Amino acid sequence: MGDERWTREKTFMKAAVVQAVGKTPVYADFGEPTSEDGKELISVGAAALSHFTKGRASGAHYSSHAAFPSVVGADGVGVTRDGRRVYFFLPERPYGAMAEKTRVRSAQCIEVPSEIDDITAAAIANPGMSAWAALAGRAHLRPGETVLVNGATGTAGRLAVQIAKYMGASKVVATGRDERALNEVRDLGADVVIPFQLGTLQPHSSKEYEAALKQQFAMGVNVVVDYLWGKSAEAVIVAIAKAVEDATPVRFVQVGGASREDIQLPGAAFRSSAIVLMGSGYKSIPLPGLLAAIKSVFEVVVPAKLKITTKSVPLAEVEKAWEDTGKARIVFVTR
């Protein structure tokens, strides 16, 4: 039997609509999607606010397309017309996840395990995928290896620490600018925490940070998962070059650019070390691979006891909550 939410026929629905590049989405009426072969019409229950979603909405993300007006939201959780509860990724434009209904290719939907609620599934899918894809899909992490998470205090970084431990990492090193948050990350499984001043790395703090990094790399780090880029990532690369004496490769996986900085890559750092630099994200990993990573995360949420802090917000409050910078993952709900 189909879901009862599909029994109401209407022309317009409520959605978070963005009118132009750089504009904050507003809660407004938007034309409902219609059915098409090979695509699912979904009654949306929850959609999380992510850097990916905000980047695509603003036009800043490399996967953005300038088509306005459009509904924001890259992914979410909802119910299909035949009653299946699914996670969906990249609705067909101009539709998005932050609406009462959306339209998505059937191949871009994953059924959500019954033990995971809508809000948790919507919140954990994107950051969990970024961590799983980086560690398993790109770095091919092996049990017993050591992982350094650069930018471990954000939602994705915290999940990377937990997932690395679940995958068998013998040691996880976490870096971040918030010492209080780093202590929380230690409680999630980080064995070593290294604080720094993001965006500045003044000479005194830079030397302390580099010394702490060099100490860890001298002891052996196999994988770096970087969510920041910028000066902190540059310091990590330099520390690898200076501290690793043999030709043991360090797999450096670049996932995010939270620092909003570019870096200067010193050529000598690559000539004098065995750094393997790679990216992980939408387009560097085929879409089926990203969906497989999300499916894997869903499968381990319970056995790995993955923790994520969420904040449920009515979709009608999207304009007010859009710039929320709190630690909790914002999840918009439609009912």
- The string of pLDDT tens digits covering residues 5-34 is 545 555 899 999 998 877 899 999 999 999
Please tell me the distance from the alpha carbon of residue 106 to that of residue 126, in angstroms, as a whole number: 18
The per-residue pLDDT for 203 is 44
The per-residue pLDDT for 205 is 60
Please report the domains of the chain, with CATH numbers, ordered by start residue: 4-115+307-333 (3.90.180.10), 126-279 (3.40.50.720)
Q: How confident is the model at residue 3 (pLDDT cuts 50, 70, 90)?
A: low
With contact defined as beta carbons under 8 Å apart, do 287 and 108 qualify?
yes
Residue 204 has pLDDT above 50, yes or no: no
Q: How confident is the model at residue 105 (pLDDT cuts 50, 70, 90)?
A: very high
Q: How many C-beta atoms lie closer than 10 Å to residue 110's C-beta?
A: 18
Please tell me the distance from the alpha carbon of residue 13 to that of residue 99, in angstroms, as a whole number: 7
Q: What are the C-alpha distances in Å from 261 to residues 51, 181, 229?
A: 15, 22, 7
Give the phi and the psi of residue 87 in degrees, each rounded to 5. Answer: -95, 140
Give the phi and the psi of residue 183 in degrees, each rounded to 5. Answer: -65, -35
Lowest mean pLDDT, pick from 138-142, 175-179, 323-327: 323-327
Question: Bigger pLDDT: 47 or 283?
Answer: 47
Is beta strand 85-89 parallel, antiparallel or unpaired with respect to 75-80? antiparallel
**Residue 245 CB partners (closer than 8 Å, separation 6+):** 218
The per-residue pLDDT for 50 is 86
**Residue 259 CB partners (closer than 8 Å, separation 6+):** 151, 198, 199, 228, 229, 230, 231, 232, 233
Encode 223-233: b = buried (16+ Cβ within 10 Å), e = exposed: bbbbbbbbbbb
DSSP letter for each residue of 256-298: --TT-------HHHHHTS-EEEEE-SBTTB-HHHHHHHHHHHH
**Mean pLDDT score of the chain, rounded to an integer?**
89
The per-residue pLDDT for 61 is 46
pTM comes to 0.88
The per-residue pLDDT for 226 is 97
Residue 221 has pLDDT above 70, yes or no: yes
